[in-house]
Structure 1
Amino acid sequence: MTTLQSTFINAATDAERHWLESKLAAPTPAKLAAFVAAPRFIIRRNVPEKPDGTPPNGMPPNWTMDQLARGLLLTSLPAEPEDAYVKAIQTLFDTAELQELVALYAALPLLTYPERWLFQATEAVRSNMSPVFDAIAFGNTYPADYFPEAAWNQLVLKCIFNDKPITKITGLAQRANQTLANDLSNFAHERWAAGRTVPAEVWQLIPHFMNETLLADVKKLLQSPDERDQLAARQVIAETDYEPARQLLVTGY
């Protein structure tokens, strides 16, 4: 039994357990129908967290019980033959309503043949539906594992443009890159020119990609009246190997 299965069993009612067990043992068409029907049989409520307040192992944060049931139904689909498996999942994507899409995108790390879902995943980044975007962006390992750099950068930048917390993006530090650092600088210059602020947490993505332009940005942050900007600048200086930035410690900024 997987961690996800035991999590569901421990939190479900008897009726919910019996319903899901019967559908997990059913043929593929019945599993697909159950994916759609799950909220009629599984009460939408948060999955219980572990004692330390984190989600159960292998599960994204903020999943509800009906989402967990849908994830288990997806993992129960026969993976062979590949074309039949892909067709079944694609049918769900093609016909999904909002909450079904959210469940599908949140469950992407659980699906077989992960590369086959790259188009759908990058489409979610372009979505104007906030719950769909959040399902791919936050607490989801799929983008960090499979997105090419351009798609990854688009996801991060869209979060920043829309004032969403990039700290919820899985793999944020590991996927930092020079192009993204440069784009963040351009974004900051546009915001500053318009008299607007820049979220202090974005600067955590630049320490290993410093150049003269980014150094000037750090100096500006050090002179900011906002203590969060000053702290972000000091963290960049502490983490970078870029000598002109390290010299700011010697010169006292």
Structure 2
Amino acid sequence: MTDTGSGLPVRVLRAYRIADGALVRSIATAATRDITSVDISPDATLVAAADPRNYSTGGNVHVHRIADGTNVALLTVPATTAAVRFSADGRQLAVNDRFTVAGRFVGGVRVFRTSDWTSVLTLADNSQVLRWSGLGAGLWVTTVAYASPTLLRLVSVPTGAITRSVTLQEYDSVSDVSNDDTLILSGRWAAPRRSLKLSTAATGTAIATFDFAADVFAGDIRADGSLFSYALNTTPSAYDVYVGRIPS
């Protein structure tokens, strides 16, 4: 929407009730770039939204209270790829960030404590936030580099200790890990993007591969581990969303 006073675009978050689709709250943010990652706290009291850094604008996480739309935190994290994820207990918020290491920009991860929004963990190693472990074992992060194997790691918070490291194939793009930390769903981040893969989170070994005639992008694994979602390209600018069954 556009601010009638300034004429500038306003990025708005809208919360809907799942039961009937009714609009619960419309929240205007201070985001200066398009919001590309949103997450709601487990108790449904807060919503976090990130606009990635692009040139000289963006690079913030906007945290609002859903009940009245009040902004409770503005976190500066100049990541060029945005991601926000609340922990299962709502006490921590993991976000993509960007750091300066030896005079150059390096992507990474930062974890904030939601009680006072202080930083409790930073990873300045080209990691990107994926999701919190469904078993409470820590935070899953991925590292993707050109012409290198994709690395998936489970990191303990706040110590930063790596409790599991899984090496996948070059160009694998991990989209989700199952709630029980046993399965990995991935696609490809480089062309041809026409396959999906399920791998074991213990060793990274592929247990099922699905090939398609058009570009496909992996989605999420269902909470009980029985189904997964994906988006299949139908025209140059349109996708259909499908749900597949995970082999037993």
Alignment TM class, shorter chain as reference: under 0.3
Q: TM-score, normalising length from structure 2?
A: 0.27
Whose radius of gyration is greater, 1 or 2?
1
Q: TM-score, normalising length from structure 1?
A: 0.27
Which structure would you say has the larger RCO, counting Cα contacts within 8 Å and 6 or more residues apart?
1
The structure whose residues are more often strand, as a share, is 2
